[in-house]
């Protein structure tokens, strides 16, 4: 039944082609194909991220404290006293960077800000200053604390809401203060600059007994003068409401796209031909669309209208591969899957129906459930155990050139009687079968598949798109043991049409066709025992 050299040669091919599925699954081509297939999921993630970003922007606008900022500019200079003969002259000297930095630190110092608080008032400072989440402030706390601690808190609040920086490399210092209104921002900024100028003026005023000398000495050293007073700003501080919304939408969309791509990158479920080939080391014959129905009872024998071009292409590839591997007749192909309900029964039906088109006698055998009593008609169990003849069990010509053998209803395994299938299936029949298709149990029950290996030449595996992982399929194939050398190839089933390539999806559209109910009682029995909607 089996070609002795074929198994050894295929074992060598397996050793040569066996690769690490992890490395192949992460190849650029595989990732590109996975991204294309899951583009709808990625687009949905982008949409969800965009909506979340928009809502975040609205929340930010609702909770953020409105603030206005006004700025003022100070010119820092340094003067000294030079003697020219009997006269003393006050002249300006070069201002060093350290002097500018010192002046900026003085602007932020507590002595200057305390002058502002004394001038404006503690309560007014509290009202004018925006109180963000980073600096919580409450009137209850201020009432319970001492005046000194209240003043220190007000100084810290002022320091938080002001910015002091040097304008380029010049001697000009910019002071920018923030307040809850435009007028308050201008007032607060001007008071800070005035307090700084007064602080320098008082520091340079040396008290002497001579009033004339005191007036001349107090202008020496670093001094500052206001060259630009603060005016009320016309708009709130950035970002504006519109900018916050746009930024939230863009950031949310980017996060959504990133999350979608990461999910696709680390998703190890089988979705592409490259992934399946990397795990199985055999040919992947293609895809079968999700929304195609399978039935052995069609209104017409014209399969061009019953199946899509994509499905026919995969079935043709299966037939060609089986003919290339062996010319022995009958060709016995077992159909299995990694897990239950992945569509192996539907594929077995399609394959048997397709092979019967070419005037080749085909026998479809339901061997999908062999370990439990069934309520259906007698079939495979009874035939293999010799309790009934094949002519009494087979449903003849359920379609032209296609016969069907139900699973039977006996209990017990068939490990020791599978050999009876080949010896008896063609005996006494006017026309021998050229193809025998076995609908086997899934690989989750690999012992049943290995037991049936006494009968079949090739094994065809069905993988459901986006359900079975690389590790699950690899573990299932390892459970086959030596039987893995008979693996003919795989078919990816139940792929959504939107995940197909545009040209492939157009070819996959099936023509309209009806499923008729046959009046033959034997056909009704076959349909009840082998309905793809009820059998995984």
Distance of CA 278 to the CA centre of its chain: 22
* Partner residues linked to 462 by β-bridges: 337, 491
How many secondary structure helices (H) and strands (E) does the chain include? 23, 13
Q: Tell me which residue of 500, 530, 531 sits closest to 39, measured CA to CA.
A: 500
pLDDT at 430 (0 to 100): 55
pLDDT at 70 (0 to 100): 92
- What would the mean pLDDT of 270-299 be, rounded to a whole number? 74
Is 80 exceeded by the pLDDT of residue 467? yes
Is 80 exceeded by the pLDDT of residue 342? yes
- Report residue 446's pLDDT band, with 50, 70 and 90 as the boundaries: confident
Distance of CA 385 to the CA centre of its chain: 53
Instruction: Give 270 or 10, the one with higher predicted confidence.
Output: 270
Q: Using one digit for the tens of pLDDT, what is the confidence trace for 428-437?
A: 555 578 888 9
pLDDT at 73 (0 to 100): 93
Q: Using one digit for the tens of pLDDT, what is the confidence trace for 231-269?
A: 999 888 777 778 888 888 899 889 888 888 887 777 777
- What would the mean pLDDT of 14-27 be, rounded to a whole number? 45
- Report residue 6's pLDDT band, with 50, 70 and 90 as the boundaries: very low
Q: Which residues contact 473 (CB under 8 A, 6 or more apart)?
A: 270, 276, 279, 280, 338, 461, 463
Name the DSSP class of 269.
Answer: B
pLDDT at 194 (0 to 100): 92
pLDDT at 189 (0 to 100): 93
Beta strand residue intervals within 302-352, DSSP E: 331-337
pLDDT at 248 (0 to 100): 87
User: Where is average pLDDT lowest: 142-146, 246-250, 523-527?
Assistant: 523-527
Is 80 exceeded by the pLDDT of residue 484? yes
* Partner residues linked to 437 by β-bridges: 333, 364
Beta strand residue intervals within 170-300, DSSP E: 172-179, 221-228, 284-289
What is the C-alpha separation between 395 and 170, in angstroms, rounded? Answer: 101
Beta strand residue intervals within 347-457, DSSP E: 362-366, 395-399, 402-405, 435-439
Kindly report the average pLDDT of the chain as a whole number.
Answer: 75
pLDDT at 163 (0 to 100): 92
Contact between residue 483 and residue 453 where contact means Cβ atoms under 8 Å apart: yes
Hey, what are 427's tokens? 């005996």
Q: Using one digit for the tens of pLDDT, what is the confidence trace for 392-428?
A: 777 877 888 888 888 777 666 676 667 777 776 666 5
pLDDT at 186 (0 to 100): 92
Contact between residue 342 and residue 463 where contact means Cβ atoms under 8 Å apart: yes
Backbone angles phi, psi at 460, to 5 degrees: -110, 130
Contact between residue 398 and residue 526 where contact means Cβ atoms under 8 Å apart: yes
Hey, what are 330's tokens? 């009958």
What is the C-alpha separation between 477 and 461, in angstroms, rounded? Answer: 10
Place of tokens 């039906």: 349
Coil/strand/helix, residue 391: helix
What is the C-alpha separation between 416 and 406, in angstroms, rounded? Answer: 19
- Report residue 165's pLDDT band, with 50, 70 and 90 as the boundaries: very high
What is the C-alpha separation between 135 and 229, in angstroms, rounded? Answer: 28
Contact between residue 452 and residue 365 where contact means Cβ atoms under 8 Å apart: no
Instruction: Give 310 or 533, the one with higher predicted confidence.
Output: 310
Q: How many residues does the chain have?
A: 536
Is 50 exceeded by the pLDDT of residue 307? yes
């Amino acid at each position: 039944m089996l070609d002795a050299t074929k198994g050894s040669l295929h074992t060598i091919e397996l050793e040569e082609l066996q690769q690490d599925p992890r490395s192949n699954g992460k190849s650029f081509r595989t990732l590109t194909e996975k991204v294309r297939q899951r583009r709808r999921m990625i687009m949905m993630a982008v949409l969800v991220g965009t909506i979340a970003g928009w809502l975040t922007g609205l929340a930010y606008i609702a909770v953020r404290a409105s603030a206005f900022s006004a700025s003022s500019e100070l010119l820092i200079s340094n003067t000294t006293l030079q003697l020219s003969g009997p006269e003393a002259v006050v002249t300006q000297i070069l201002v060093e960077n350290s002097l500018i930095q010192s002046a900026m630190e003085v602007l932020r110092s507590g002595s200057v800000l305390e002058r502002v608080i004394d001038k404006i008032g503690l309560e007014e400072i509290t009202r004018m200053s925006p109180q963000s989440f980073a600096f919580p402030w409450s009137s209850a706390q201020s009432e319970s604390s001492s005046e000194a601690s209240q003043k220190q808190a007000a100084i810290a609040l002022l320091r938080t809401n002001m910015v002091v920086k040097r304008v380029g490399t010049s001697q000009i210092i910019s002071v920018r203060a923030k307040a809850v209104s435009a007028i308050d921002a201008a007032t607060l900024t001007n008071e800070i600059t005035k307090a700084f100028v007064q602080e320098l003026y008082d520091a340079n005023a040396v008290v002497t007994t001579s009033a004339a000398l005191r007036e001349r000495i107090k202008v020496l050293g670093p001094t500052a003068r206001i060259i630009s007073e603060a005016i009320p700003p016309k708009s709130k501080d950035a970002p504006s409401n519109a900018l916050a919304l746009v930024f939230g939408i863009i950031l949310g969309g980017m996060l959504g796209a990133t999350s979608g791509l990461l999910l696709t990158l680390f998703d190890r479920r089988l979705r592409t031909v490259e992934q399946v080939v990397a795990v199985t080391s055999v040919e992947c014959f293609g895809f079968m669309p999700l929304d195609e129905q399978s039935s052995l009872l069609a209104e017409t024998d014209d399969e061009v209208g019953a199946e899509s071009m994509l499905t026919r292409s995969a079935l043709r590839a299966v037939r060609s591969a089986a003919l290339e591997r062996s010319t022995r007749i009958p060709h016995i192909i077992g159909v299995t899957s990694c897990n239950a309900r992945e569509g192996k029964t539907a594929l077995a039906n399609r394959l048997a129906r397709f092979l019967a088109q070419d005037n080749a006698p085909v026998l479809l055998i339901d061997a999908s459930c062999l370990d439990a009593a069934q309520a259906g008609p007698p079939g495979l169990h009874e035939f293999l155990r010799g309790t009934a003849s094949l002519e009494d069990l087979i449903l003849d010509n359920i379609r032209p050139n296609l016969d069907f053998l139900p699973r039977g209803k006996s209990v017990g395994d068939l490990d020791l009687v599978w050999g009876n299938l080949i010896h008896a299936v063609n005996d006494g029949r006017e026309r021998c079968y050229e193809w025998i298709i076995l609908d086997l149990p899934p690989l989750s029950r690999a012992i049943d598949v290995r037991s049936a290996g006494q009968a079949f030449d090739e094994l065809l595996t069905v993988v459901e798109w986006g359900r079975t992982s690389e590790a699950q399929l690899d573990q299932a194939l390892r459970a086959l043991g030596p039987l893995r050398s008979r693996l003919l190839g795989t078919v990816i089933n139940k792929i959504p049409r939107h995940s197909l390539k545009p040209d492939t999806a157009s070819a996959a559209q099936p023509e309209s066709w009806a499923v008729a109910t046959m009046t033959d009682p034997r056909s009704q029995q076959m349909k009840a025992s082998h309905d793809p909607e009820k059998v995984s």
